Amino acid sequence: MKKFCTVLLLLTVFSFTASAENFTAWNLNDRINPQLKEYFTAAPEMTITPENLQELRKSFIPESLPKDDAVEVHDEIIGSNLRVRVYTPKTDAKELPALLWIHGGGHIFGIPEVDEGLCIRIAKEIGCIIANPDYRLAPEHPYPADVEDCYAALKWLAENPRVRKDRIAVAGGSAGGGLTVAVTLVARDKKYPVIHFQMPLYPQLDYRNITPSSNQITDHRCWCKDFNILAWKLYLANVSGDVPSYASPAMAEDLSGLPPAYIMVGTLDPFRDEDMTYAQRLMEAGVPVELHVIAGGTHAFEGVYPESPLSVKTVNEYVNALKEALK
């Protein structure tokens, strides 16, 4: 019954968004989830330009990092110069499940430490080893730099002698969600390693910005149309001709043979429609999918407004889904 309801929700929303009138910009103040409204209405407008990227990147550096005695955290340098943040639960178990966690930031900013608390929680609660790569960013390093880095980190993780080869997952939010799908496609095509589960959260999948939601969300207090167009422009600067599916996974023609997926996105996210399309196409390809569409949720709301009860509930749900998949 749960899977049926998920599919029914998907088809209902697709019918709604098919109307051309929904391409007009929305007033998010009237649509925001009540549990987020207090935080969203107080949020300042953001500005993202090529000129202020360096300053924005500094804002992603936490002043302090959470710690937990139950989880060892350290950095590894792999390949030529790729830093990977590693989270290992302190346990006597000989083999552990593993997770490649990929941070977000539109391919243009972000560092592993942004998700430090979440990674520590996952490593502790699930008892899994996590590798969180500090992948190269555009515009200095456009596609395919970050895909190559994330796949290199995935292979490194799979070769860890303590990792269960049948329990490797890939997850991340926003651009990290898009990279989750891209790396999962790469692993399928290269036949290594075998990915057991994918969890792309509000993934950035489609460079074209042609969906209703990618045009409806224009409010600069959250990730929106303007920011998305700029990010894709910087990321695809070296791509000429057809955009590869590893760069923009919405372009992938064949989704068969991919691992089961858990996907979450808010109705006020510019990625809403492309994420639901991905979920639907996975279903059509015979891939098990659990899709969560959060009413009145903005992009990455659970990370931006972690104090909200809706955010707490949402994180608990996807951590539990990951725990169930990796047991």
**pLDDT score, position 168:** 98
How many secondary structure helices (H) and strands (E) does the chain include? 11, 8
* Enzyme catalytic residues: 174, 269, 299
* Strand partners for 85: 75, 132
**pLDDT score, position 82:** 98
Is the entire prediction scored with pTM above 0.85? Answer: yes
Q: How far, in Å, CA of 140 to CA of 145, rounded?
A: 10
Q: Which two tokens stand for residue 306?
A: 């972690």
**pLDDT score, position 84:** 98
Query: Which amino acid is present at 125?
Result: E
Please provide the DSSP assignment of 236-249 as one string: TTT--SSPPTTTSG
Phi, psi of 204 (to 5 degrees): -90, 105
Tell me how far apart the 2 most distant CA atoms of the chain are, in Å: 58
Q: Which two tokens stand for residue 162?
A: 């303590």
CA distances from 113 to 44, 117, 140, 278 (A): 23, 8, 21, 28
Residue 54: helix, strand or coil by DSSP? Answer: helix
**pLDDT score, position 6:** 37
- Residue 241 has, within 13 A of its CA and on its CB side, a CA count of 2
One CATH from 2.30.40.10, 1.10.3720.10, 3.30.1330.10, 3.40.50.1820 for 2-326: 3.40.50.1820
CB proximity list for 173: less than 8 A, separation 6 or greater: 103, 104, 201, 202, 203, 300, 303
* Strand partners for 199: 171
Domain regions of the chain by residue span: 2-326
Q: How far, in Å, CA of 320 to CA of 178, rounded?
A: 21
CA distances from 199 to 33, 38, 183 (A): 23, 29, 12
CB atoms within 10 A of CB 214: 22
Instruction: Please state at what angle helix 309-326 crosses helix 34-42, rounded to 10 degrees.
Output: 110
> pLDDT per residue over 198-246, tens digit each?
999 999 999 999 999 999 999 999 999 999 999 999 999 999 999 999 9
CA distances from 135 to 63, 76, 223 (A): 21, 13, 21
Q: Which two tokens stand for residue 272?
A: 């809403």
- Residue 209 has, within 13 A of its CA and on its CB side, a CA count of 14
**pLDDT score, position 60:** 85
Helices (H), ranges, 191-287? 212-216, 225-235, 272-284
**pLDDT score, position 33:** 98
Q: Which two tokens stand for residue 236?
A: 């695809």
Angle at 279 between CA 273 and CA 280, to 5 degrees: 90
Q: How far, in Å, CA of 319 to CA of 327, rounded?
A: 12
For the chain, which residues score pLDDT lower than 50?
A: 1-21
Inter-residue contact 269 to 208 (CB < 8 Å)? no
CA 172 to chain centre: 3
**pLDDT score, position 22:** 52
**pLDDT score, position 73:** 98
